[in-house]
């Protein structure tokens, strides 16, 4: 039934079908498409490209003991300014999220500070209370480290096999960081690429796929080569930094480009683009460190880069340049991650979550001084991008022409939490 009044009406929205219509929103969801009604607020969208809000399945919002790098407030402001309306926080925090109490404290921290929707994953290590965290609302299990990375120790195959069996029994989704690490501490970006090679990553993906019991839902994080995508069983994720950056674009010892898995050479980067249609999800792996930390010698500088605010804008520039389709960006940044996680999708049908970002036609250049991440830098400085001018979170204008408004973002618990309450 058509509501008499609405909270917000988006007028003249260009729908994916090609037609233009009004989107009527009340209570944070789409109520109707087409007929105009009275509304508390209206927004003329005729000069914008409208995308469903992105779901970034892979962020590290820091906070707590790491608040100097980022916190929920600054990290989610950065997300919203980049068209991301739901983020999924990884559990390799300090301390890691291994108990229901720690998970609930993390969720409470986000509820107090976040300006967009969020979910929180559970840490997968020996001794972690996986069942308890599922019941407490963990979205997924991992990122599960099949190789060491910042704030995460690598797990041996037998330990992984046992933990996978537990996750399978719980009906959970296992998200995987798969790499091989060989050789001494790297001194350059090229060394880093060799130490954590693309071939080793593909072997690790195959090994993890073989370890997992039949029926376990696997999601491979931040795959960096075409071969790794081909080796995976389950869904696969890539990052903007592996799509848009190669280590050859930087000075050999530039620690700002140090990330796990490493940036690859240009040939490998182009090869990753060749598998665009096989990629399920683009996620940022937003992992900010301060410039002071990044100024340490290469051998000990932390791996990780900020990226949640620039993820969709980089892809939108590629759409404007004719390199990829708008439909594929919507699928990989919004609809597919929502389906994998089991959360309501944002979209243009009655009942859909009313999260949107509105992009102008103009391509600009990334200027780190204009971004919102607390760390204050970006490896994408100067890259072409299209940033949203308006962002809607749960039917509320959360971001308008550079200004943030008060919102009431949702926590999205995992399916285990929902079923335990039924």
pLDDT tens profile 277-320: 999 999 999 999 999 999 999 999 999 999 999 999 999 999 99
285 marked as binding residue: yes
pLDDT at 419 over 50: no
What's the rounded mean pLDDT across residues 123-135? 97
Name the average pLDDT for the chain. 94
92 marked as binding residue: yes
- Given 135, 285, 352, 355, which residue is catalytic? 285
pLDDT tens profile 182-238: 999 999 999 999 999 999 999 999 999 999 999 999 999 999 999 999 999 999 999
58 marked as binding residue: yes
In the chain, what percentage of residues exceed pLDDT 90?
90
pLDDT of residue 152: 63
Q: Is 285 a catalytic residue?
A: yes
Indicate the pLDDT class of residue 2, thresholds 50, 70 and 90: low
Q: What is the 3-state secondary structure (H, E, C) of the chain?
A: CCCCEEEEEEEEEECCCCCEEEEEEECCEEEEECCCCEEEEEEECCCCEEEECEEEEEECCCECCECCCCCHHHHHHHHHHCCEEEEEECCCCCCCCCCHHHHHHHHHHHHHHCCCEEEECECCCCCCCHHHHHHHCCCCEEEEECCCECCECCCCHHHHHHHHHHHHHCCCEEEEECCCCCCCCCCCHHHHHHHCCHHHHHHHHHHHHHHCCCCCEEEECCCCCHHHHHHCCCEEEECHHHHHCCHHHCCCCCHHHCCCCCCCCHHHHHHHHCCHHHCCEECCCECCCCHHHHCCCCCCCCCCECCCCCHHHHHHHHHHCCCCCHHHHHHHHHHHHHHHHCCCCECCCCCCECCEEEECCCCEECCHHHCCCCCCCCCCCCCEECCCCEEEECCEEEEECCEECCCCCCECCCHHHHHHCC
What pTM did the predictor assign?
0.96
pLDDT at 156 over 60: yes
Higher pLDDT, 129 or 36: 129
pLDDT at 265 over 60: yes
Where along the chain do its domains lie? Answer: 5-50+350-404, 54-341
pLDDT of residue 18: 81
Task: Please tell us whether the domain made up of 54-341 is placed in CATH 3.20.20.140.
Answer: yes
Give the CATH superfamily of 5-50+350-404: Urease, subunit C, domain 1 (2.30.40.10)
32 marked as binding residue: no
241 marked as binding residue: no
């Amino acid at each position: 039934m058509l509501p008499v009044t609405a909270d917000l009406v988006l007028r003249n929205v260009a729908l994916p079908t090609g037609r233009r219509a009004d989107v009527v929103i009340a209570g944070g969801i789409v109520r109707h498409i087409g007929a105009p009604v009275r509304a508390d607020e209206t927004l003329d969208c005729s000069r914008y490209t409208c995308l469903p809000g992105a779901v970034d399945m892979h962020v590290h919002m820091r906070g707590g003991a790491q608040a100097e790098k980022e916190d929920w407030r600054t990290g989610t402001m950065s997300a919203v300014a980049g068209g991301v309306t739901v983020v999924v926080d990884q559990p390799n925090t300090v301390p890691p999220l291994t108990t229901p109490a720690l998970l609930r404290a993390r969720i409470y921290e986000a509820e107090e500070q976040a300006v967009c929707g969020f979910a929180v994953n559970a840490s997968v290590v020996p001794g972690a209370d996986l069942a308890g965290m599922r019941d407490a609302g963990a979205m997924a299990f991992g990122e599960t480290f099949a190789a060491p990375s910042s704030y995460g120790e690598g797990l041996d195959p037998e330990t992984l096999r046992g933990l996978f069996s537990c996750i399978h029994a719980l009906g959970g989704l296992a998200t995987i960081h798969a790499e091989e690490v060989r050789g001494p501490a790297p001194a350059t970006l090229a060394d880093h690429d060799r130490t954590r090679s693309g071939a080793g990553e593909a072997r690790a993906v195959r090994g993890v796929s073989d370890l997992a019991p039949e029926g376990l839902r696997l999601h491979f994080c931040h795959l960096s080569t075409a071969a790794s995508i081909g080796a995976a069983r389950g869904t696969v994720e890539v990052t903007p930094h592996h799509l848009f950056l190669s280590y050859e674009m930087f000075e050999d010892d530039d620690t700002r480009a140090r990330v796990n898995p490493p940036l690859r050479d240009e040939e490998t980067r182009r090869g990753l683009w060749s598998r665009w249609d096989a990629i399920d999800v683009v996620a940022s792996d937003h992992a900010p460190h301060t410039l002071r930390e990044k100024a340490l010698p290469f051998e000990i500088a932390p791996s990780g880069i900020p990226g949640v605010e620039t993820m969709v804008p980089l892809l939108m520039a590629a759409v404007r340049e004719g390199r990829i389709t708008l439909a594929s960006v919507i699928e990989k940044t919004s609809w597919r991650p929502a389906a994998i996680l089991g959360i309501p999708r944002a979209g243009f049908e009655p009942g859909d979550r009313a999260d949107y970002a509105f992009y102008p036609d103009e391509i600009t250049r990334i200027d780190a001084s204009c971004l919102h991440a607390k760390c204050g830098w970006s490896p994408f400085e100067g890259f072409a991008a299209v940033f949203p001018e308006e962002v809607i979170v749960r039917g509320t204008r959360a971001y308008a022409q550079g200004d943030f408004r008060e919102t009431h973002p949702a926590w999205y618990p995992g399916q285990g939490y929902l079923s335990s309450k039924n």
